[in-house]
Amino acid sequence: MTDRARLLRAYDDQLRTDAETPSALAVERLGPLRLVTFGGGRGFITYRDLGGADASGIDSLVADAIAHYETRTEISNVEWKTRGHDVAPGLHESLLAHGFVPGEPESIMIGEAALLAVDVPLPDGIALRRVTSEPDVRAMSAMQDEVFGDPVSDAMADAVLHRLALGDGMELWVAETSDGEIVSAGRLEPVPGTEFAGIWGGATREEWRGRGIYRALTAARARSALALGKRLINSDSTEFSRPILERSGLVKVSTTTPYVWKR
């Protein structure tokens, strides 16, 4: 088995379904699907596989899944998380027909945490730290919304604060200037019962990119993962972060594309 195949097997065996939804408010089953409700009016659909369903069967699953959320008026948007290596005939066409819009594909990156846990020099005046207080969390969330081109959302900040209150091991890390401006941020999410910790939400203000800040923030999270006994790191990476992780030795094992339905 190649290294890529070994890592992809670990991803499928350890990181799909329950491991993806630690902060879920509710999870209901629909055949092979898990229909998840998160805070902030967000729905999420995931699965280990589609059980060998053909195109007709998959179309029925999509129709039944969206019908489930349509009756729940508190849900404003739903993400169906697809993976490039899944056997899913007709899924793309069925999602489009039921009102889902595809987002940008991201690379599923996996590798040894030790490869990332290296010393990275920071620009003068930049420091890294974990944040836990409500003002810090709201400032971090607002910065990420701005970087990702989204409206600044109290609902997203509320969801992160709720998750912190659960005490499930999630860590929030930021890089900030000497006057307290957050210029980069990301989460570390240790996955209970697995070898993995995920690094998520990486965002750096455009004027601060290319100076090693994201790489240093990633190294800090990797060191924390190792201290927690996690050997492997996973991330769904944009084309901004993928090359950085590849240079550190992580492997692209597949792709993931979000399809989003909005009420």
**Nearest Cα residue to 16 out of 166, 159, 196:** 196
pTM: 0.87
Parse the chain into domains and list their residue ranges. Answer: 15-107, 111-255
Give the pLDDT band of residue 99 (cuts 50, 70, 90): very high
In degrees, to the nearest 5, what angle opens at C-alpha 209 toward C-alphas 217 and 214? 10
d(CA 143, CA 149): 10
Contacts of 222 (CB under 8 A, 6+ apart): 113, 114, 115, 116, 117, 199, 233
Q: Reply yes or no on whether the pLDDT at 1 is more than 70.
A: no
Evaluate whether 259 touches 79 at the Cβ level (below 8 Å).
yes
pLDDT at 21: 85
**79 vs 171: CA distance, rounded Å:** 24
Q: Report the pLDDT averaged over residues 153-163.
A: 88
- Select the CATH number that applies to the domain covering 111-255 from these four: 3.40.190.290, 3.30.70.100, 3.40.630.30, 3.30.1130.10: 3.40.630.30
Task: Flag whether pLDDT at 227 surpasses 80.
Answer: yes
Using pLDDT thresholds of 50, 70 and 90, give the confidence band for residue 255. Answer: very high
The string of pLDDT tens digits covering residues 27-71 is 999 999 999 999 889 999 999 999 999 999 999 999 999 999 999
**Mean local confidence (pLDDT), 191-218:** 93
Highest mean pLDDT among 80-94, 189-203, 240-254: 80-94
Q: In Å, how far are 24, 171, 188, 203 from 181, measured between CA atoms?
A: 31, 19, 21, 14
pLDDT at 10 over 70: yes
Q: How many CB atoms lie within 10 A of CB 18?
A: 15
> Between these two residues, 224 and 148, which has the higher pLDDT value?
224
Q: Of 158-162, 163-167, 203-207, 238-242, where does the model show the most confidence? A: 203-207
Q: How far is CA 218 from CA 32, 231, 234, in A?
A: 34, 15, 11
Mean pLDDT across the chain, nearest whole number?
Answer: 94
* Tokens found for residue 29: 């089953």
- pLDDT-derived band at 244 (thresholds 50, 70, 90) equals confident
